Amino acid sequence: MGILQYKTKKTVFLLKLWTMDNEQTPIDVDKIVNHWIETSDEDYATMQSLYTSNSFGWSLFMGHISIEKLLKAYYVRKYKKHAPLTHNLYRLAELSELELTDEKSDWLDKITSFNLNARYDDYKREFYKQCTADFTAAWIENIKTLRIWIKQML
């Protein structure tokens, strides 16, 4: 195990996950999968509320999080180990060996950009300009379609 110089709650948690994965400690797959699904559903509801309140950029950010959690649930269900520590939706799908159409691949890449664009100041201004009601509504429909697709495989 590598030396960890940082002592925050997040790094300790991440180190525990890494250690569990690398020591191949058995995990409670159903508990972890259910957690990912339940919190994804909560994030999806938050996405819809944010859209209704005209907070379009944050709405799409939460859409990204809801898809990420379902992909992680799928990964855990399939491999019986913790999901990789990444926010890249395409990469999660790839590591899960999901068969993706070009359209779904493009959607995952675009939705991943919502994570970066909503969080980092360098990108926020342009992202918020792009996030009109119509743009956001269209992407919410794509997010909904992806959620249904992933949930069918769970």
- Report which of 35, 31, 37, 30 is spatially closest to residue 147, judged by C-alpha positions: 37
**Alpha carbons 62 and 60: distance in angstroms, whole number:** 5
Per residue in 24-50, pLDDT (tens digit) is 678 999 999 999 999 999 999 999 999
Q: Could you give the domains of the chain?
A: 25-80+96-153 (1.20.120.330)
3-state secondary structure of 4: coil
**What percent of the chain is predicted at pLDDT more than 70?**
82
- pLDDT tier, 123 (very low <50, low <70, confident <90, very high otherwise): confident
In Å, what is the CA distance from 44 to each residue of 57, 61, 68, 118, 140? 14, 10, 11, 16, 9
- Most confident residue range from 11-15, 64-68, 123-127: 64-68
Q: Does the structure show a pLDDT above 70 at 101?
A: yes
Q: Please report the sign of the dihedral spanned by the C-alpha atoms of residue 88, residue 102, residue 48, residue 130.
A: positive
Q: Does the structure show a pLDDT above 60 at 3?
A: no
- Report which of 96, 87, 82 is spatially closest to residue 63, judged by C-alpha positions: 87
Q: Buried b / exposed e across 10-34, counting CB within 10 Å, b at 16+?
A: eeeeeeebeeeeeeeeebeeeebbe
- The pTM of this model reads 0.82
